[in-house]
A and B are shown apart, each in its own frame.
Chain A
Amino acid sequence: MNEPNPLTRAHLDALKREFEELAQRQVGYPCNQSFDYSELTPFLEYTLNNVGDPFHDSNFRSNTHEIEREVIARFASLMHLEQEQAWGYVTSGGTEGNMYGIYMGRELFPDGVVYFSQDTHYSVLKILRVLNVRNIMIKSQENGEIDYEDLRETIRIHRDAPVIFMANIGSTMKGAVDDVSRVRGILDDLAVTNAYIHADAALSGMILPFVEEPQPYGFDAGFDSVSISGHKLIGCPLPCGVVLTKRDYVARIARSIEYVGVLDTTLPGSRNALTPLMLWYAFERLGMDGFRELVAEMLAVAEYAVERFDEFGVPAWRHKNSVTVVFPRPPAEVMRKWQIAPLGDIAHIITMPHVTREMVNEFVDDCVKQKHKQTA
């Protein structure tokens, strides 16, 4: 291949410099930037495609289905789902996983009503619209968890309709975890037998399996499906995620198609074959102990951030087992310098592995300095 012309080269160099710069100030998004996939660059030379169901042979053989199945097996054990019952695939990200989960719930219970909290990720509203499923938003408590009393009252009224519950396992803004055991309890109390729980565990799906005292999570706690991000905690240059559910459910909605000899069970046809490879590689390199250490350190840095804010009298807080540190919205100057996403009166930093104590110090100092400037 030819070398790119100087103008193209200059563009690429400038773009790279920009990304390098931005990476230094990235504290507000839950994306782990500490990864090294250089071993996988040779795979960029092939036209790879994981079209269709990873658990069925495909006529398109340049795929990584086998590796994808290993990735699914890893996540199945993290989510306490028996291997024989486990089905899933590597998605394009959290949104696709959530769409799959709600789609599955809707297919199993076509007259179901989806219940979800106010703190649910905005993409869910779009999914509900696309799937045209009945849905009711339940208010959240101040800490971001769903309001269980409002949930109970609302389900009670619609008791005859199947319940499709969308649980936040680590909400976007506050890292809140909805208590699925409690939700199961409510469903039992109300004698609701037709129920489906989908868990949005974008970030915390990779935290809770590695802590001593996790909040209830996993298929043993009542999940029927779960969506977990790949580019968040694990870290990946390409957005991705996994969706996991039970084999029996999938069998009920599977439709066989002739075209490429695959079962049409995945939402997209052609699918990324590199992202399963990357996730697999991350697990191979770090191993379960590696992730345990990584998570412990992230939580320690989160606690450090709360303490630092506290020293300066800034009311910062975080949930148990959460790396999302919430504090009052800082002045605009701080937001210009750092990559953070405020919502209304609050903002957060998320102590992903690339966020060091030094970055936390600098960030807290900036917040305090700017605030003093404002009041002076």
Chain B
Amino acid sequence: MNRIIITVRDEVGVIADISKALADENINIEALNTEVAGEKGVVILTTNESDRALRVLMNAGFRAITDEAMIIRLRDEPGALAKVAEKFKIAGVNIQSMHILNRHAGYANVALTADDEAKAKALLEGEDVL
């Protein structure tokens, strides 16, 4: 599964714009959580043609990436990221990379990869994983 992660600003109709850009190029969206998409500042979707979808979205002016990373949504407050890092440290799971995708409406969307994905997933239980 190749997920596409799009960081968006708080704009009405952003889902419609994304869908249209893909539909115009005959790319099918396989999964998209429409309930919360947009509001969280990030849209995550899978399509039948990731590579082409990525290009289409970029050309349409979206900031889109594909990433195997786990995406979590944290309150944007001092030390929030460090707290997650600490959890991993205590459990002995190495963080390979931790990137802030964007900060939106009091939250930070963070992409995280670790050396042990299964353990990492378990550690993130209870967090807002997107």
Contact = CB atoms under 8 A, between A and B. Distances in A.
Q: Is the interface of B mostly helix, strand, loop or mixed?
A: mixed
Given A157-B86, A158-B89, A139 B96 contact: no
A344 B97 CA distance: 24
A139 B97 contact: no
A125 interface: yes
Contacts of A149: 78-79
Contact of A157 (B76, B82, B97, B108): B82
Nearest to B90: A157
Nearest to B7: A344
Given A135-B98, A136-B98, A157-B86, A150 B79 contact: yes
A139 B48 CA distance: 34
Contacts of B78: 147, 149-150, 153
Interface of A: 118, 125, 128, 134-139, 147, 149-150, 153-154, 156-158, 344
Given A128-B97, A139-B81, A157-B82, 16 more contacts: A118-B100, A134-B97, A135-B96, A135-B97, A135-B98, A135-B99, A137-B100, A138-B81, A139-B76, A149-B79, A150-B78, A150-B79, A153-B78, A153-B82, A154-B85, A158-B89
A158 B84 CA distance: 12
A150 B81 contact: yes
Contacts of A128: 97
Contact of A150 (B82, B89, B99): B82
Interface string B67-93: 000000000101101100110010000
Contacts of A344: 9
Contacts of B95: 134, 136
Contacts of A125: 99
A191 B9 CA distance: 41
Contacts of A156: 82
A156 B78 CA distance: 14
Contacts of A136: 81, 85, 95, 97-98
A228 B85 CA distance: 32
Contacts of A135: 96-99
B94 interface: yes
A106 to B, nearest CB: 14
B103 interface: yes
A158 B85 CA distance: 8
A139 B98 contact: no
A212 to B, nearest CB: 34
A128 B97 CA distance: 9
Nearest to B96: A134
A259 B81 CA distance: 48
B63 to A, nearest CB: 10
The 10 A-B pairs of least Cβ separation, nearest first, read: A153-B82, A137-B99, A136-B98, A154-B82, A157-B86, A157-B85, A135-B97, A153-B79, A118-B100, A157-B89
Contacts of A138: 81
A344 B79 CA distance: 25
Contacts of B97: 128, 134-136
A139 B85 CA distance: 14
B32 to A, nearest CB: 23
A26 B108 CA distance: 34
Contact of A134 (B76, B89, B94): B94
A22 B113 CA distance: 42
Among A150, A157, A158, the most chain B Cβ lie within 10 Å of the Cβ of A157
Nearest to B111: A137
B70 to A, nearest CB: 15
Contacts of B82: 150, 153-154, 156-157
A125 B99 CA distance: 9
15 contacts: A134-B95, A134-B96, A135-B98, A135-B99, A136-B95, A136-B98, A137-B100, A139-B108, A150-B79, A154-B81, A154-B82, A154-B85, A156-B82, A157-B82, A157-B89
Contacts of A154: 81-82, 85
A270 to B, nearest CB: 31
A139 B99 CA distance: 9
Nearest to B99: A137
A138 B9 CA distance: 21
A158 to B, nearest CB: 7
